[in-house]
Amino acid sequence: MTTNDPKTIKLAQFLKWVGAVSTGGEAKLMIQGGFVEVNGAIETRRARKLVEGDFVMMQGKSYRVELD
């Protein structure tokens, strides 16, 4: 990874980080069940890499990805 590459976080990790789920297993079920949207599209890949500015929606709550 070079210094110009954007920072990323995996979708399942992000859901745990923001408190939308409490465990990785719960994240897996929600994602694979089609209950999570990324930028308006249903996402079923747990390892989907999110970048700064992406929007994640789950169960009516919206989260904006902000990475330092």
Three-class SS string for the chain? CCCCCCCEEEHHHHHHHCCCCCCHHHHHHHHHCCCEEECCEECCCCCCEEECCCEEEECCEEEECCCC
Q: Which domain holds residue 46?
A: 8-64
Q: What is the pLDDT of residue 6?
A: 79
Domain assignment present for residue 45? The answer is: yes
| CATH code for the domain of 50 | 3.10.290.10
**Total domains present in the chain:** 1
Domain assignment present for residue 2? The answer is: no
Domain assignment present for residue 3? The answer is: no
Domain assignment present for residue 1? The answer is: no
User: Is the pTM value of this prediction over 0.75?
Assistant: yes
- pLDDT digits (tens), the chain, 68 positions: 556 667 999 999 999 999 999 999 999 999 999 999 999 999 999 999 999 999 999 999 999 999 88
